[in-house]
Structures are given as structure tokens and as C-alpha cells.
Amino acid sequence: MKYKPVYYLTALLLAIIIFAANFLSTDIFAAGLPSFSVWFVLSIFSFTCGWIINKTLGYNHGGKVVFAVLIAAIFLSIVVITLFSEYFGFSSFLVENIILYLLRNISLGATALFGMAVAEVIHLQKRVEVEKRNCEDESSLVSSNARREAELIVEEAKVKAEKIIFEAEKKSQEILFNKGKIEEQIKEFIRTEKELIKKYQSEENQDIQ
């Protein structure tokens, strides 16, 4: 699929949000309500960016983009924190502090992925409902078509049955007619034989006399 370049602006915004989290105080809860409010707003923005990325770039491609953005932000954070460790107030334990900062970057990236997952779940749920509705419509259409086909089959069977009955009645009538005709011929034959016998006997009697 081809994606518009403007769709990647959301990924760029997400990278800026993840990198901007490095400039918050590491002790967010102890720093007071303002720092926590900023952190909460950044989390909401990350969630929203993930939602938009899922809508524009899709879940699979968008997930790869978010992962790439997270890796790039982590790498850039490591470079910036290492080069400007004095600005961030690191006099010692540089590795441990870098890990704390990276965990915040990972948290924002995971929030963006969570936004993508929520958007994808809602999208799939709507799709399932649409497919279910389509299946119900198709099943009702199939059942109505099957009912019509069954009615046509029944009507055709009735017509064939009536035709078979008619042919059977016709053949039975022909058989009865042929039977009566044969009986008449037999009776005629018997009558003729009787007349011939009587004629033969009368001729014999005449010869005897």
C-alpha cells in the first residue's frame, strides 16, 4: 500500500513527544503537580498519536513506524544525555540515570502502541459486527432462496406425479378397452365355432339318413 507523506507527520510528532520527555524532572511525583500534569498530557498525546497512526498507516505498518520512532528517540536520547550530562545534573551514575530516562521513553512508546491496539480492537469489533450483519442478511437471503427452490421442486414433483397418474389411467383404460375387445373377439370366435359344429352335425345327420 502507498501512504501519503502527511501521514508520517504524526510519527514525527510522537518522536518529538518522546524526546521532550527527557527534559522533565526524573522525580515527577516529588516535583509536584505541574510536572505530573505535563507527564500526563504527554501520555495522552502519545496515546492519541498511536490512535491516529493506526487509522492512517494501519496496525502492521504503523506498529513498525512507532517501533522505529521509539528506537530513534532512544538513540537520540542516549546521545544527548551523554553529551550534556552536566545540563541534566549527572555527576555520577550516568548509566543508571540514562536507564531511567530511557524507561520514560519506552513508557511513552508503549502508550502509543496501546493507543494503536485500542483503535485496532474497536475497528475489528465494528468489522465483526458488519460481517455478522452481512452474514445474517446472506443467511436470510439463502433461506428465502432455498424456500423458493423447495417450493419449485414440490410444484414440479406435483406436476410429474399428475402426469404419471394421467399416463397410468390412460394405459389402464387402454388395457380395459383391449381386454373388452379381446373378450368380444373370443365370444365371436366361440359363437362361430358353435355354428360350425351345429352345421357339421346337421350335415352328418343328413348323410346318415
pLDDT in tens, the chain (209 residues): 666 777 788 888 888 888 777 776 555 444 445 556 777 888 888 888 888 888 888 888 888 888 888 888 888 888 877 777 666 666 555 677 677 777 888 888 888 888 888 888 988 888 888 888 887 777 777 777 778 888 888 888 888 888 888 888 888 788 887 777 887 878 787 878 777 777 777 766 666 65
What pTM, to 2 d.p., does this model score?
0.57
Residue 78 · residue 13 · CB < 8 Å? no
d(CA 14, CA 56) in angstroms, rounded, equals 14
Find, among 81, 83, 96, 82, the residue nearest to 24 by Cα.
81
Grid cell of 190 as nine digits: 366361440
d(CA 15, CA 34) in angstroms, rounded, equals 22
State the first-to-last Cα distance of the chain, in angstroms, to the nearest integer.
129
Query: Domain coordinates of the chain in residue numbers?
Result: 5-146
Angle value at C-alpha 57, between 56 and 61, nearest 5 degrees: 165
Residue 42 · residue 54 · CB < 8 Å? no
